Structures are given as structure tokens and as C-alpha cells.
Amino acid sequence: MAIQWFPGHMHVTKKAITERVKDIDVVIEVLDARMPGSSANPLLAELTAGRPALKVLNKQDLADPARTGQWLAHYNAVPDTRAIALDASQAAPARQITAACHALAPLRGGMAKPMRVLICGVPNVGKSTLINTLTGGRKARTGDEAGITRLEQRIVLADDFYLWDTPGMLWPRIAVAQSGYKLAAAGAVGRNAYDEEEVALEFLNYVKQPYAALLQARFRLPGDAARIAALKDEELLEAIGRQRGALQGKGRVSLQKAAEIVIQEFRNATLGRITLEAPGEFAAWHAEGQRLDAERLARKAARAERNKKEPAG
């Protein structure tokens, strides 16, 4: 089942970005370093086309460092784009942002031409935490619930550096099915938009190969990493539930409770440093999603054409 979530306040955000970007020098997109491709908003890329972009891979302390390096190389190879990785709660790395913005827009600065920056990101990616670090205070609300920020706000970082914060925004249709599950696992999607058991199974299906050793160590699963990687997704979820005491009547495992445990462990980063996609993998998923979406639109157009030709009554 595809995961989609685009509540009403996101329509308002889209309109606000469309208007604001006309006067913006640099667009900062905060990404989740554990899923940089899936947390990059294609609608934002469309709305801000032609503006220099700074990709901030936040939560890099939770991500696989080797894969973070791959994603930084990927984004830094894109024209008019820079990428940095940081932990938004640490002040020193966060200061890299102002320097990167000046590098992307070297003609802006000073009272006559102040730097005007728009900061965006999907819900729960750590954008508000980053803003609070940059300002040295609590300018933005934070929390582990998707959709905390609801209104655009202007923040003065320096006399000649203005930052516009926007609410977290997804996009109307998530064409890459894998991205929907990853965003749900990370908490970027509202709770009513997904089934936790399904998300946990998709998560385990991916991580049981590259990160089997982490699963074995955290959940104290019997056997070695090779055995864990060979388990079916349902078997692995059941084994985790049994080890954690997620039981119901007659000693049966509650897969719902086990799923909640798996998702929470990932969000809390207690599983270890995990990244759910590499650049090449995401490119393949994206291409397949685009193909399936094109087929869907073609079928829709064909139905509409047939309906036009059918006589009324």
C-alpha cells in the first residue's frame, strides 16, 4: 500500500514558498542523513528551481558514515549546489551553514544587500532544532510529531542575514513507494497515514542485509548475522517481538507491538548508525516510480477518453 500524507496546512506552505522564493538568494533544504533521497522534496525542487541550494544532511551522527560520504559527493556534484552533514543540535557544525550560503551567493552580504535564505524540509527532519541552534535560543517549536511548525516565520541571524522558516512539507503524491515507508519509519508522516506493522516489515526487509549484525546485537537474536539476514521479514519481526516480550494470549507474539518496538528503536537511534538508501539505489527506485506513475497517468487518460466517446444514458 502506497503511503501518502498531504494535510491542508501543506497547501498553505506551498503557496507561501511560491511567493517567498521570488526574493530569496539561497534555499536550504534540511534532509535526513539516514534517507537523503527519500527526504528530498521534489515539489520543493520545482518551486525553487534556479536558486542556489544548500543540502544539509542532518542527523549525520545517526547515519552510516560511509553512505553519508556517498550522498555528500552526489549532491556536491550538482551545479549550484553544496552539501554538508551535521548534527543540528551541535553549535559549531551548524555555523558552517552561513559560510556555505555566502559561498553560493557571494554577491550578497552587508546592509545594502542582506543575505535572504529560505529553509525548508519534510516534517520531523530536525529543521526547527537546527534553527534553534543557529539562533542560540528557542525560535522554533520542536518535537517528534510530524507537522509541529505550522506558520512561516522570519528569523534574523545577523544584521545582514535573514532566514525564513517554513512548515515541514511533503508532496501531494509520493511516487517512490520505498520513500513512503522510510519517511513513515522516521516519523515524517502523520500516524494515521500508515500501518506500523507494514512499515516495520519493509524496514526489516531492507536493513536485515547490510545491518544484520546491528539487529542481532540490539535485540539479542539467536544465531549469527548470516542467519538473521536469511530470515523472512515476518520471522524476523516475530523473533524480535519474542525477545522483547511483545506477547499476547497463549504466548503468541503481537506483531503490532513488535512493529512499534522496531520503529521506535530506529527513531531513537538505539539500533546503531543506519542509512536506508545509497544514491544508486534511490536513483533506481525513483526511475521505477516515475515509470509506474507515467503508466498510471496513461491509464487515467485512456479511461477519460473512453468516457468521452461513450454515449450518454
Phi/psi at 126 (5° precision)? 100, 15
As a whole number of Å, the end-to-end CA separation of the chain is: 35
Indicate if 150 and 245 belong to the same structural domain. Answer: no
Please check whether residue 30 lies inside any domain of the structure: yes
| Burial 219-238, CB ≥16 within 10 A → b, else e | bebeeebeebbebeeeebbb
* Domain CATH code at residue 211: 1.10.1580.10
* Residue 145 pLDDT: 41
Indicate if 149 and 33 belong to the same structural domain. Answer: yes
Q: List per-residue pLDDT tens for the chain, 313 residues long.
A: 566 655 555 667 777 788 788 889 999 999 999 999 999 988 888 888 889 999 999 999 999 999 999 999 999 999 999 999 998 777 776 778 889 999 999 999 888 899 999 999 888 898 888 888 888 765 544 444 444 444 568 888 888 999 998 887 776 678 888 999 999 999 988 888 889 999 999 999 999 999 999 999 999 999 899 999 999 999 999 999 999 999 988 889 999 999 999 999 999 999 999 999 999 999 999 899 889 888 888 998 888 888 887 765 5
Indicate if 57 and 104 belong to the same structural domain. Answer: yes
pTM over 0.85: yes
* Residue 293 pLDDT: 82
d(CA 153, CA 132): 13
* Residue 141 pLDDT: 47
Indicate if 243 and 133 belong to the same structural domain. Answer: no
Which residue range(s) make up the domain with 212? 195-267
Indicate if 18 and 126 belong to the same structural domain. Answer: yes
Indicate if 85 and 137 belong to the same structural domain. Answer: yes
Please check whether residue 84 lies inside any domain of the structure: yes
Indicate if 97 and 229 belong to the same structural domain. Answer: no
* Residue 78 pLDDT: 95
* Residue 17 pLDDT: 83
**Which of 122, 143, 165 lies at the terminal end of a domain, its last residue?**
165
Please check whether residue 80 lies inside any domain of the structure: yes
Please check whether residue 21 lies inside any domain of the structure: yes
Please check whether residue 307 lies inside any domain of the structure: no
Indicate if 151 and 237 belong to the same structural domain. Answer: no
* Residue 1 pLDDT: 52
**Which of 150, 165, 180 lies at the terminal end of a domain, its last residue?**
165
Contact 276, 32 (CB under 8 A): no
* Residue 243 pLDDT: 95
Indicate if 20 and 151 belong to the same structural domain. Answer: yes
**Which of 122, 145, 165 lies at the terminal end of a domain, its last residue?**
165
The x, y and z cell numbers of residue 282, run together, are: 534511490
Indicate if 213 and 263 belong to the same structural domain. Answer: yes
Indicate if 159 and 199 belong to the same structural domain. Answer: no
Please check whether residue 189 lies inside any domain of the structure: no
Please check whether residue 150 lies inside any domain of the structure: yes
- Number of structural domains (the chain) is 2
Please check whether residue 172 lies inside any domain of the structure: no
Indicate if 39 and 136 belong to the same structural domain. Answer: yes
